[in-house]
Amino acid sequence: MAKLSQDELLEQFSEMTLIELSEFVKAFEEKFDVEAAAPVAVAAAGGAAAGAPAEAEAEKDEFDVILAGAGAKKIQVIKVVRELTSLGLKEAKELVDGAPKPVLEKVDKAAADKAKEALEGAGASVEVK
């Protein structure tokens, strides 16, 4: 079997749905006996325990975009969710119907702001954490 380059792997992952990626991560964790834990959560918990919440906020470089509600223009919100996540129509509709739910997780500040602006433009209510 030929070894895939990093770019080829990323191209393959970009064609997968979030559900397929989640299943892949689980299989990867089992095969290599590792855990894909979020280091930011550990750093934030450590910062709060040390009594320095302002430092934890300053260090935060990954954000979650959470859809709080679809609003009146649900179809427009579903379209934006599909653009942002590459989900299929069914998965995007389920995400919007099940709000509040995360749309994007562990993205940088610019991507989080762009996603929030797009979702709010479609009529949704959004939180960035």
What is residue 126's predicted lDDT score, i.e. its pLDDT?
86
Q: HSE, CB side, 13 Å, CA atoms: give it for residue 111.
A: 15
Given a contact cutoff of 8 angstroms between Cβ atoms, the answer to whether 83 and 118 are in contact is yes
Please state the pTM of the whole predicted model: 0.51
pLDDT of residue 42: 47
- Of 17-26, 44-53, 95-104, 115-124, the range with the lowest mean pLDDT is 44-53
User: Which of 87, 86, 92, 99 is CA-nearest to residue 127?
Assistant: 99
Average per-residue pLDDT in the chain? Answer: 78
Average pLDDT over residues 74-90: 87
Condensed to tens digits (0 to 9), the pLDDT of residues 9-62 reads 888 888 888 788 888 888 888 888 887 655 444 444 555 444 555 555 556 778
DSSP-derived secondary structure for 69-104: E--S-HHHHHHHHHHHH---HHHHHHHHHT-SEEEE
Task: Give CA separation, 2 vs 9, 15, 54, 112, 118, in Å.
Answer: 12, 20, 48, 37, 40
Name the strand (E) or helix (H) holding 106.
strand 101-107
Specify the pLDDT at position 101: 87
What tokens were used for 30? 């089992």
Just give the CATH number of 73-128: 3.30.1390.10
User: Which residues, 6+ apart, have CB-to-CB distance to 105 below 8 Å?
Assistant: 64, 65
pLDDT of 78 over the 70 cut: yes
Domain positions in the chain are 73-128
Straight-line distance from the first to the last Cα atom of the chain, in angstroms, rounded to the nearest whole number: 42
- State the DSSP code for 16: S
Residue 55 vs residue 104, higher pLDDT: 104
How much is the pLDDT for 16? 81
* Confidence at residue 34, expressed as pLDDT on a 0 to 100 scale: 80
